[in-house]
Amino acid sequence: MINQIYSNKGDKLKGRQLPIMYSSREHSFFTISGNLATQTPQAVGWAMASAIKGDSRIAATWVGEGSTAEGDFHSACTFASVYNAPVILNVINNQWAISSFSGFAGAERTTFANRAVGYGLAGLRIDGNDALAVYAATQWAAERARSNKGPTLIEHFTYRAEGHSTSDDPTAYRSAQEREEWPLGDPVNRLKKHLIALGEWSEEQHAKMDEECAQQVKAATKEAEKNGILGHGLHHPFRTMFQDVYEDLPWHLEEQAKQAKREREIKWPGEEPWS
Ligand SMILES: Cc1ncc(C[n+]2csc(CCOP(=O)(O)OP(=O)(O)O)c2C)c(N)n1
């Protein structure tokens, strides 16, 4: 994952994705696309293909509430319903799409779970900050999909405490204390308290786990840095950006590739990046 964040020579996505848009073939985990909501019809199509092939695997996808305003989301719901695709459509309603309140995607008219009804999908609305509720709802939807009872749309009602990204300043569009006033709390703290109350966990175990996780991330970062960090030039060769998208490179991209090569030779003569 950290190689991918650095877009270095260890990045399996060859520097073609934004940081955090991870993908892992071994885990059947397919990245979202920077063009929001494309993953929704892709997941439905993948689920349809799985069913047609007689495969038992199901698809699950996640989209922000703001992105449900994209047409892709609605086509995906229609296809999921018509073809009874074994898919779970998760809508993460964290109430903010960067600076846009969820009302811009229709949240004040109805819930996102309620939209499922119009498409003939099962719709659930859960407290997205309750880990056990998320687990239970997902298990229910997965059982439905696996037993061919149909797709489920789950709205996870939650709150984005931080900014959308490090370049976002939420105080520019909402009150600074809003995050403190959000009543449903931090999901990790809630699960921790619940497990401690059950006698299954303790503050000491939690602190130890935190420390272990931090160490694991640090070690992985150090390891990934050997493959290059931003600005080190240890990225995939320039020419690879023209590969893998089309089976046969269309003529106009062929031309662009040649032009890029010429310009590269002029700007950085004799230099061939890592290959
Ligand atoms: C098609 C498209 N339109 C606009 C953007 C710019 N954009 C990036 S993130 C974002 C907000 C997304 O909000 P939401 O779907 O609620 O997801 P969240 O950020 O809460 O995960 C926007 C508008 C984009 N990446 N793609």
Ligand 1 pocket member 128 (CB < 6 A): no
- Which is catalytic among the residues 115, 125, 156, 160? 160
Cα(97) to centroid(ligand 1), Å: 6
Q: Where are the domains of the chain?
A: 32-175, 238-267
What is the DSSP annotation of 171-214? Answer: GGTS-TTHHHH-TT--HHHHHHHHHHHTTS--HHHHHHHHHHHH
CB of 165 within 6 A of ligand 1: the answer is no
**CA–CA gap between residue 270 and residue 268 (Å, rounded):** 6
Q: Is 98 in the pocket of ligand 1 (CB under 6 A)?
A: yes
pLDDT tens track, the chain, 275 positions: 999 999 899 999 888 888 889 999 999 999 888 999 999 999 999 999 999 999 999 999 999 999 999 999 999 999 999 999 999 999 999 999 999 999 999 999 999 999 999 999 999 999 999 999 999 999 999 999 999 999 999 999 999 999 999 899 999 999 989 888 888 989 999 999 999 999 999 999 999 999 999 999 999 999 999 999 977 778 887 778 888 889 999 999 999 988 888 887 777 676 655 43
pTM exceeds 0.85 for this model: yes
How many CB atoms lie under 10 A from the CB of residue 269? Answer: 7
Domain 32-175 has CATH 3.40.50.2300: no
